[in-house]
Structure 1
């Protein structure tokens, strides 16, 4: 297969059978053994050292759970955390990443459902993990950091089990269709589900051949958490496949982002749009363009992409994917535009369909469905949920639950989650467009926009979190937004909230906002009548007789 446009250094996708973690690490260690591979604020390892450590950890963990055993990982963004999942994957075991913020019944439910028999946990999280792991299949916990004895039915071992392990005589022979991970979805529209992931699926999600970066001479910066597919696969794994260096940041910090990147000479990073918006909202500085980055992959693209790219002198790429489907669309660096997700990648077939699964023509909004000729590169099942798996895969197509349309140049354009879609005056109102306009206001830190029932159609409600020390003139905000949006997109209701409820992976939960309705929300239409001389309509903001 030829490399898609934008593939770094002419890299091509290998056969599906060869898309495995041990294949990637062994190849990189043979080609560039002394090239720095993984970096964090306290450590740095070459490719030879990473491959050595991954094999040792594989051997040690195989002694605990055996081939195919499931191991929970509740670890921080560090080189050590990356080595653990690389070791599990190299040994043919199943990693089950756990959000480090989990506790109580949410944590207990994931431990129970996963069927994992062992775990690798940071010392800081040990107490709440052990409390949640009672009466589950977990029998061994390896503690990273300063562990201690624990009275109970679970064996708690210190990190020496991994750090001082002997090199195994051999490791299992793996292929791309072998399972590698059990990744839990965000649960934006319901309960979180465990997605069974193969080696080829993880590889293809993060493949630089598809994303257009990283390159072998890049230093990639990872700011997303490693329990998230964006941090682990599109971040760390992406860099390892490319043969690049990878700096793992403990966490995203908008204030420290550019300086942290400068210290480690980072040239490429993947950001979610909220991170990019936060960076763009910072006060202008004369040295904004004086940074080490050449490219940023931002998903989805922020509304102010052109201004952002000029301000920081970077090229912006984008794409669309999911835990279940992997990377579906990409747009090359310099070609990303707001709203656009890019074009379909090789090995996938995509359609936009109506509620009866009939294909829709370009320009018509419907649900994105996906299928592949290579079953190993998409999810095989939701663990223990055969009915939900069958529903997602009805008709042989994976139903994403995302509303999209195809524009005139063949690019797919995201509209909303199907359950979040807003219809006004017979038109779709993309919540992301409205949110981007609101987020540009100096007083707004972040927001979420939903449709709420009106007399005959949806009305737009915006829940807004204010920046510290700011107050909000709601009428002034409406005038601000109406200057740049079609009138049908201008929110009718504004509710100021202290914070927005989020899923464990950081996505905003919109269902509670809809369920809470418009009670206590400020109503623009009432304001229109009270103001008498100000009206928001088809032609924008009209003041008096103007």
Structure 2
């Protein structure tokens, strides 16, 4: 017997098993009217209403629907209301510039775009048939209607297209199938120990690799979602205290924000011996992991993955064999990327690149067959990261073979930033690299050969803001006389990186 795996399974089970349980506590402080507290019956009703609205708009199965939003209950609903009835969700990073959003909407072919009220100006500028400000369309979004059923559910159908920066100047649309999404969420949930007593705080942007799959699994297992619109260390502690949060996912910068806030917290830190935090984006320093364990009293977990792998590849969490070790030794072990997750194969090729094979790997890049073939050569996914497997079979990421900087948990394409800088009339040459930074992991840094000695770092950074999201813009600009190149003219970035990384064991931070 064969029954296709689709993301609809998660909301259907929640409504069946936990209809009157609180499903979502929406962000109270947002420009759209907060949806307040929703039960799983109400969340499922909203998802059906959205699907019915898309029926009314004539969006077919396979049609693309984009949502540009900070974390919100409406965005969470779209993971089911769009994808559960066969359409394709395109969650867009709200921090992107208008030019970047225009490219993604156009490239994906989205015919419907929802956007947060704060992004109305960008929404108005888009050339799209159907555009809605989240909250303004609720008279339709909340109507009591039944959608047309997806006639032939297909687990091989694309469920989401997630755009990610990489080795090209333009973002690539990662096609993840229902099977990818279903299995990633289930395997991730298994390793994270998700259960129906959990309270999940959305510190991770939902647009980021679909919140790593947590919106699906926490829904399917009846956990409570607490929506956080904006990351703020003190507010994270307050929400944990208020709602009894037990689980959250975060980039290292969020961990740092929580640690900073804890230093000024009056009384016992909320969540001690209760919160499990799962970190990815870059391995935090051993000392940071120690501080999470000692100062916050939270269980530290780490995963490694990419948008292209849905994202889970490896998992690192405390194990019984380490119980008698000192906190420092435990933290050192937890600093590794982790052991392969269930059903995932990790190998290292002769050049030191990390390869992974699993049911979570992308179906392909939207409308980019050549790039798809390149990263899937040999029926395995080429991560572009350099690393090794240690004696315990744990993956350690030691270098980044692709030209990507990970700053604050976000991918930044060096090429994209270089293109923006080269459009300035006084920039003759430029190389963009990531350098170690305690707060952001890696700092986007531009090394510039200028034609005009009067151009300033501030002027170049401001110039980049015209075409790039703020997190992609260089935070540091150094002016140099020349950039090192080979005899054939190829830029030697490793030489530029050397002085910044010479005291580090790994070439990632």
Q: Same fold (TM over 0.5)?
A: yes
Provide closer, same or farther for how the CA distance between residues 238 and 446 of structure 1 changes in structure 2, counting only shifts above 3 A.
same
Matched, 1:329 2:323: no
Q: What residue number does 1:245 align with? A: 224
Bigger Cα displacement from structure 2, 64-73 vs 39-48: 39-48
Match of 1:160 among 111, 121, 139: 139
Provide closer, same or farther for how the CA distance between residues 393 and 513 of structure 1 changes in structure 2, counting only shifts above 3 A.
farther
Q: What residue number does 2:425 align with? A: none
What is the CA distance between 1:141 and its match in structure 2?
A: 1.6
CA contact (8 A) 1:224 1:251 kept: no
For residues 135 and 22 of structure 2, the distance between their equivalents in structure 1, rounded to whole angstroms, comes to 24
Provide closer, same or farther for how the CA distance between residues 206 and 333 of structure 1 changes in structure 2, counting only shifts above 3 A.
farther
3-state secondary structure, aligned to 1:256:
helix
Tell me, which stretches of 5 or more residues in structure 2 are unaligned? Answer: 29-33, 320-329, 406-432, 448-457, 483-501, 504-509
Q: What residue number does 2:173 align with? A: 194
Q: What residue number does 2:92 align with? A: 98
For residues 313 and 251 of structure 2, the distance between their equivalents in structure 1, rounded to whole angstroms, comes to 16
Matched, 1:272 2:251: yes
What is the CA distance between 1:179 and its match in structure 2?
A: 1.4
Provide closer, same or farther for how the CA distance between residues 446 and 317 of structure 1 changes in structure 2, counting only shifts above 3 A.
closer
What is the CA distance between 1:123 and its match in structure 2?
A: 3.4
Matched, 1:340 2:336: yes
CA contact (8 A) 2:446 2:476 kept: no
For residues 331 and 500 of structure 1, the distance between their equivalents in structure 2, rounded to whole angstroms, comes to 37
Q: What residue number does 1:354 align with? A: 350
CA contact (8 A) 1:302 1:338 kept: no
Aligned 1:7-406 pairs, distance under 5 A: 18-40=4-26, 41=28, 42=34, 43-64=36-57, 65-133=59-127, 138-146=128-136, 158-168=137-147, 170-187=149-166, 190-207=169-186, 208-229=188-209, 231=211, 233-282=212-261, 284-285=263-264, 289-292=268-271, 293-299=274-280, 300-303=282-285, 304=287, 305-326=289-310, 327-333=312-318, 337=333, 339-355=335-351, 366-372=352-358, 374=359, 377-406=360-389
For residues 404 and 69 of structure 2, the distance between their equivalents in structure 1, rounded to whole angstroms, comes to 36
What is the CA distance between 1:388 and its match in structure 2?
A: 0.8
What is the CA distance between 1:329 and its match in structure 2?
A: 0.4
CA contact (8 A) 2:100 2:467 kept: no
For residues 463 and 2 of structure 2, the distance between their equivalents in structure 1, rounded to whole angstroms, comes to 44
Structure 1, residues 28-62: CA drift from partner, whole Å, max 9, x if none? 21112212111113411112222222122112212
For residues 421 and 74 of structure 1, the distance between their equivalents in structure 2, rounded to whole angstroms, comes to 24
Note the aligned Cα RMSD (angstroms). Answer: 3.6
Bigger Rg, structure 1 or 2? 1
For residues 250 and 156 of structure 2, the distance between their equivalents in structure 1, rounded to whole angstroms, comes to 29
For residues 162 and 505 of structure 1, the distance between their equivalents in structure 2, rounded to whole angstroms, comes to 30
For residues 504 and 258 of structure 1, the distance between their equivalents in structure 2, rounded to whole angstroms, comes to 32
Provide closer, same or farther for how the CA distance between residues 503 and 315 of structure 1 changes in structure 2, counting only shifts above 3 A.
farther
CA contact (8 A) 2:233 2:260 kept: no
CA contact (8 A) 1:342 1:411 kept: yes
CA contact (8 A) 2:386 2:399 kept: yes
Tell me, which stretches of 5 or more residues in structure 1 are unaligned? Answer: 1-14, 147-157, 356-365, 423-430, 453-464, 466-496, 520-536, 539-546
CA contact (8 A) 1:188 1:508 kept: no
For residues 306 and 201 of structure 1, the distance between their equivalents in structure 2, rounded to whole angstroms, comes to 34
CA contact (8 A) 1:381 1:389 kept: yes
Provide closer, same or farther for how the CA distance between residues 446 and 278 of structure 1 changes in structure 2, counting only shifts above 3 A.
farther
For residues 146 and 229 of structure 2, the distance between their equivalents in structure 1, rounded to whole angstroms, comes to 29
